[in-house]
Every structure is written in C-alpha cells, then in structure tokens.
Amino acid sequence: MSILTTTATLHLTQILVSYEDAVRLLHIRDTYDWHQRVWQAFGGRAGQERDFLIRVDRKEDAYRVIILSSSIPAKPDWCPTDCFGTKIIPDDFFAHPRYRFSLLANPTKKLRVDNADGSRKKNGRRVPLVKREDLIAWLERKATAGGFTINLDSLRTIPRGREYFHKDRAAHGTHTAVEFQGELTVSDPAQLRATVADGIGSAKAFGFGLLVLAPLS
C-alpha cells in the first residue's frame, strides 16, 4: 500500500535548520528524531497513518529536511520563518523522458532463518547490501517495478555509513545508508509518479526512500 495516495496532489517542502539549533533547541540525535519533529507539521492527526516521506542532508552548518506529502504541511513552531517553504509538484513534472536523480536508501536482502525442526521461519533476517554489484542489482529491480531504467554509465553508489536511531530506551538500532546518484529514463510516467509518492525500499520512517528528481533536457 502506498504511503501517499498516488493520485493526490504532491507537495514538496524544504526546511533549513542550523546545526546549532538542531542540537541545542531540538535535541536532534538521529533521523528518527527528525521524523518525529516533522510530524508536528501535520498536527491533529494522532493515530493516523503517515502520508509523507522525508530526507535529511547535512549542508555545511545546517540541516536540509525535504518532505514529500499529500497533505499540506504547516510551519512548525520550532522552525524559523524564513527556513520553511512548500510548493505543489505539477503532474506534468513527471512527463519528461529523462531525469537526474538522487536516492538515499537502505538496501537489504532477507536471509533464510530456520526453526529448530529445520522448517523455514516466516520472517527471515534482513542484512544490508554492501557490494556494488548487489546494490546495482537491487536498484535495477526497483527501477523495473518503478517505471524507469537506470543509465549505468552515470550511476554512482556512495556509502553513507551507518545511521543510528533511538525510539526509546528499549528500541534502538542501525540502518546502512547508501546514496544512489545518476540518470534515469522513464518507461511509464504514471508508475514513476506512483513510485515517487510511495518511496523506494525500507526504513521510510527513518529518512530513506525519497526519490529526488531533476528533469534533463
């Protein structure tokens, strides 16, 4: 099921927060903390499903938070007036044949885990992909299902290291972040839009999966 309603209007929001404010005022430790802060832009929705994706990048002395949502976010109280901006993504944005893209993802594979009697457990163990050939194969599978193909000559796979998160004292863990950069060719514009709305891969609540696109002439 899609995180965003794939036929709904898509909104792209950018928030810029200084590193000092993020640490001193917001007490940001990880991307899950950012996710909790971003929820404050969609107030009054306790118990509802999330309908947004986020991505967080460190830019010199500030953090850039990108939000893709079907609901219109409101500027949260912790955000300075001049750091917040939202625009609608028009449907014809997805009509271009080629794009430059960036994707921060958590590529994994599931390993088989057996019960004591030798039968296979329903849920296996997920481990990160680290070899470039495995990362490329993972991305190509996502592309085939997502309405586009990758220009392999342009593709860069950039390890971003481990991302640690803390939900509470008992729940914590890590994700292995990889950034994909390159060019793609569209095979199905409607499916590409749905893929952008839904996100790619796992750990979307932790800042992964948002496909950032820029049209190529």
pLDDT of residue 78: 85
Total domains, the chain: 2
CATH of the domain at 67: 3.30.70.1200
Last residue of a domain, one of 66, 89, 112: 89
CA distance 115 to 156: 39
pLDDT single digits (tens) 68-99: 999 999 998 888 777 899 999 998 999 999 99
In a domain, 4, yes or no: no
Rg value, the chain, Cα: 18
CATH of the domain at 202: 3.30.70.1210
In a domain, 33, yes or no: yes
In a domain, 1, yes or no: no
Domain that holds residue 153: 92-215
For 121-127, which contacts have Cβ atoms below 8 Å and span 24 or more sequence positions? 126/202
pLDDT single digits (tens) 123-139: 667 788 989 999 999 99
Specify whether 24 is located in the same domain as 81.
yes
Last residue of a domain, one of 89, 108, 125: 89
- Which residues are bridge partners to 57 per DSSP? 64
Q: How confident is the model at residue 157 (pLDDT cuts 50, 70, 90)?
A: very high
Specify whether 197 is located in the same domain as 172.
yes
Specify whether 103 is located in the same domain as 17.
no
In a domain, 5, yes or no: no
Predicted model pTM = 0.86
Specify whether 76 is located in the same domain as 28.
yes
Last residue of a domain, one of 89, 123, 155: 89
- Buried-exposed string 107-117: b where 16+ CB fall within 10 A, e elsewhere: bbeeeeeeeee
Specify whether 167 is located in the same domain as 84.
no
pLDDT single digits (tens) 35-75: 889 999 988 665 677 889 999 998 888 999 999 999 999 99
